[in-house]
Structure 1
Amino acid sequence: MVNLKSRTRNILLITGGLVLVFLLWFFLDIVIYILLSVILSFVGKPLMWALGRIKIRNFTIPRSVTAFISLISLWLLFFLILRFLVPLLVKEFETFSQINFEQIFSSLQEPLSRFFSFFSRKPVEITNSTFIELIREQLDNQFRFSDLNKTVSFIAGTVGELFIGFFAVSFITFFFLKDSTMFRDAILLMVPTEMEEKVGKILDTISYLLRRYFLGIVLEMILVGVLYTLGLTIIGIEINHAVVIGLFCGLFNIIPYVGPWIGVLTGLSIGLALNVNMDFMSHTLPLLGWMTVAFLLVKVLDDVLFQPLIYSKSVKAHPLEIFLVILAAGSQGGVIGMVLAIPVYTILRVIAKEFFDNLKFVRKITQDLDKIEKNDHPFIIQ
């Protein structure tokens, strides 16, 4: 009888979980807005805490005011970052618009012919027209601008969605900052009274782990971007070009395992394009070699030091476990799946530990969660 009740409970929990997953997928846009708001509220919480400690005699700043100041400060910070980066990006695009790509193909013609001839019995001859036809064919397949109305409608729709998203995220973030228990209380309202304590514990643990993970991701992006910028500047790349390449490498680094290599290829492509007027064999090729060395040094440092701390220790999971989860998510969801793999897996592990701890497999993959102590939570939701 006990086994029957336990089995029925597990079936109901699994069914409820599947229904929840379907609802999350159906309302994906709203879920994304809420997740972004939660992340922003995490970032703004230290400022909220500092403003709340300000006291003039018996007067303290109301939480609504501190929430508004924190929200404005966050958007102001993002605006200042964009104010610094946008001119650099615009200058880079202006530089690229003046590049003669046929000259790039001409400079690559001889070394590529030698490279392919090394693996072929017959000499391989590569011409500019081969490159140009290939590039044009790929662009025609990827971008079709024949229908101007569709293009204009797409741009207008995108701008509208961005405006709605900005307003929604700002509105939700304000209330998350004002009432830090709102998200927690809203979820607890939907669970039975006898399960409130267990669900509350789940929310606290998830909040702690995800806060550590997102903080680590942001820190890793900054460190990797700065190191790439410094390395490229040392080998002779102009500072504005080095900053742009470092920015791209830092942003791509958010994609686990694959992202850093995308950043490296992007950086090498920019380096090649910027030195198209120089002799390839005597100048461009050695420069690309030094760029590769700089990229690899930062990549090794990231793999050995940064990523193990973020992808493994921050969410209390084994590195191989994390790798397999990211691999599975990438095969099913592509780049977006890889980015979301660790946060989603962390949430599922915490839930499984509380509700399915009787299963040996669940106990095995969640054993490191037992090491989390209450005093480890710096800004835990109470």
Structure 2
Amino acid sequence: MEMALRTRYILLALGMLILGFIAWYFKDIVTYIIVAAVVSTLGRPLARFLRKVRIWKIRFNSSVSAFITLFLILVVLLGMLGFIIPLIAGEFSKLASVDYNALLLQLEGPINQVLVFIGYEPITFSGFSVTDLASSKLASLFKFSKVTDLFGSVAGTIGSIFVGIFSTAFIAFFFLKEEGMFREGLMALTPEGYEDRFSRSFDRITNLLNRYFIGLVVEIIIVAILVTIGLLIVGLNFGTAALIGVLCGLFNVIPYLGPWIGGGFGIVIALAMNVDQPFMSHTLPVLGFMIIVFGSSQMIDNILIQPLIYSSSVKAHPLEIFLVIMAAGSIAGILGMILAIPVYTILRVLASEFLSNLKVVRKLTENMEPGVNVGERDLPK
């Protein structure tokens, strides 16, 4: 009997591995479906509301309500882009007009002081020209062979983006029109006898991931606002402060590395914007205050915001989360680090539901909501 139980566990694990390989092989399609499921989940309350609304005794059917919902989501996204893109374009136009040769010459003195202090030879930027370097790089880039490759790559990327947007919108339309389609599609892939357990897992995963992603969006907004307000207090203009704040909020999605990347971009932008100011008396104090702003926002994020997000979704030990993120980063880079927590959450829920007889699974999922104890009497006959 124990051998039969072990065989069933092995077959279940093999089935999950095969399903994972199929999902990886068709990762583009799986990505469209997952994004469409997220979009439909966000838009479902509005679609339900529209189906109940009557205008001159006319009630919207499921198709019309789904179309209006997708249209309004698109309008909101375009409105956000319409606010952010001009802001970014204005700041980049200022960056394009910066005299980077003057910036390097301004940094030469402080850099050499540090090099001499640590025992290295000083360097000089007097014979160096950023314009000449950029011209040589552009000349090598815009050779005929490379131009054709570049246009081909750009055309392919644009085509992929349009295909992705259309596919996601098309799938999301039917998810909104026919509620439960995504769930029913997954249930159709579930072996007989496991439907109840998978249904419970689906509900738990949906609940946890909804809380996680909502918390993540709130975290991005709060970090962006905190950094923007802090930089305004430091003395940066609104456009520059908002740009750096948005970058810090977005990069904060990347665990551990994101805050450093966002802060690094902020320092570079501030250096470029203050190229005409005295470095030691003006620029250096501004950079110091910016570092204080970045550090303070990260302390608030790490102490107050992240524990609320992770405690209500992942419910895992901080060391456990760290190891999972590092492993995911080794496998799939930055994208793996971003997806590590939601994927690990899904795996833990499935393991707690289907493999709770294993000691290691019970240990890893002891802080989660209790799953079903899978014994011999629980397995399908």
- Normalising by structure 1, we get a TM-score of 0.90
Q: Which residue number in structure 1 is paired with residue 222 of structure 2?
A: 223
Partner Cα separation in structure 2 for residue 283 and residue 10 of structure 1 = 66
Partner Cα separation in structure 2 for residue 321 and residue 253 of structure 1 = 20
Q: Which residue number in structure 2 is paired with residue 333 of structure 1?
A: 332
Q: Within 5 Å, which residues of 2 pair with 1:121-140?
A: 123-129=121-127
Name whichever of 33-42 and 128-137 sits farther off. 128-137
Per-residue deviation, 1:132: 5.2
Corresponding residue SS for 2:193: helix
**Deviation string for 1:69-108 (max 9, x for gaps)?**
1111111100000111111111112111111111111111
Partner Cα separation in structure 1 for residue 354 and residue 296 of structure 2 = 44
Per-residue deviation, 1:6: 1.0
Quickly say closer, same or farther: Cα 1:296–1:123, change in 2 above 3 A. same
Q: Which residue number in structure 1 is paired with residue 37 of structure 2?
A: 38
Q: Which residue number in structure 1 is paired with residue 240 of structure 2?
A: 241
Partner Cα separation in structure 1 for residue 231 and residue 46 of structure 2 = 35
Corresponding residue SS for 1:345: helix
Q: Which residue number in structure 1 is paired with residue 374 of structure 2?
A: none
Q: Which residue number in structure 1 is paired with residue 278 of structure 2?
A: 279
Paired residues of 1:260 and 1:299 also in contact (CA < 8 A): yes
Paired residues of 2:44 and 2:176 also in contact (CA < 8 A): yes
Q: Which residue number in structure 2 is paired with residue 380 of structure 1?
A: none
Partner Cα separation in structure 1 for residue 272 and residue 370 of structure 2 = 51
Corresponding residue SS for 2:367: helix
Partner Cα separation in structure 2 for residue 87 and residue 249 of structure 1 = 18
Per-residue deviation, 1:151: 0.5
Name whichever of 32-41 and 46-55 sits farther off. 46-55
* Displaced runs of 4 or more, over 4 A: 55-60, 128-140
Per-residue deviation, 1:135: 7.5
**Deviation string for 1:165-216 (max 9, x for gaps)?**
1100101111112223111101111223321111111111111111111111
**Deviation string for 1:126-172 (max 9, x for gaps)?**
434579599779979xx944311000111111111111111001011
Name whichever of 275-284 and 306-315 sits farther off. 306-315
Paired residues of 1:253 and 1:260 also in contact (CA < 8 A): yes
* Identical aligned residues as a percent: 43
Query: Gapped runs of 5+ residues in structure 2?
Result: 372-381
Q: How many residues are treated as equivalent by the alignment?
A: 368
Partner Cα separation in structure 2 for residue 355 and residue 348 of structure 1 = 10
Partner Cα separation in structure 2 for residue 131 and residue 362 of structure 1 = 60
Corresponding residue SS for 2:368: helix
Partner Cα separation in structure 1 for residue 21 and residue 135 of structure 2 = 39
Partner Cα separation in structure 2 for residue 99 and residue 318 of structure 1 = 47
Partner Cα separation in structure 1 for residue 135 and residue 325 of structure 2 = 33
Quickly say closer, same or farther: Cα 1:331–1:80, change in 2 above 3 A. same
Query: Gapped runs of 5+ residues in structure 1?
Result: 373-382
Quickly say closer, same or farther: Cα 1:99–1:25, change in 2 above 3 A. same
Corresponding residue SS for 2:255: coil
Per-residue deviation, 1:58: 7.7
Q: Which residue number in structure 2 is paired with residue 190 of structure 1?
A: 189
Quickly say closer, same or farther: Cα 1:324–1:131, change in 2 above 3 A. farther
**Deviation string for 1:263-288 (max 9, x for gaps)?**
01111110010000111111111111
Cα RMSD after superposing both structures: 2.4
Q: Which residue number in structure 2 is paired with residue 320 of structure 1?
A: 319
Quickly say closer, same or farther: Cα 1:129–1:209, change in 2 above 3 A. farther
Q: Within 5 Å, which residues of 2 pair with 1:95-244?
A: 95-120=94-119, 123-129=121-127, 144-146=141-143, 147-244=146-243
Name whichever of 152-161 and 39-48 sits farther off. 39-48
- Normalising by structure 2, we get a TM-score of 0.91
Corresponding residue SS for 1:255: coil
Quickly say closer, same or farther: Cα 1:207–1:288, change in 2 above 3 A. same
Corresponding residue SS for 1:42: helix
Corresponding residue SS for 2:9: helix
Paired residues of 1:311 and 1:319 also in contact (CA < 8 A): no
Paired residues of 2:208 and 2:312 also in contact (CA < 8 A): no
Question: Which residue type is aligned with residue 249 of structure 1?
Answer: C
Paired residues of 1:311 and 1:322 also in contact (CA < 8 A): no
Partner Cα separation in structure 1 for residue 126 and residue 175 of structure 2 = 57
Paired residues of 2:244 and 2:266 also in contact (CA < 8 A): yes
Corresponding residue SS for 1:194: coil
Partner Cα separation in structure 1 for residue 48 and residue 316 of structure 2 = 30
Per-residue deviation, 1:67: 1.5
Per-residue deviation, 1:109: 0.4
Q: Which residue number in structure 1 is paired with residue 295 of structure 2?
A: 296
Corresponding residue SS for 1:369: coil
Question: Which residue type is aligned with residue 303 of structure 2?
Answer: V
Corresponding residue SS for 1:330: helix
Quickly say closer, same or farther: Cα 1:64–1:257, change in 2 above 3 A. same
Partner Cα separation in structure 2 for residue 208 and residue 134 of structure 1 = 56
Question: Which residue type is aligned with residue 102 of structure 2?
Answer: Q
Quickly say closer, same or farther: Cα 1:223–1:199, change in 2 above 3 A. same
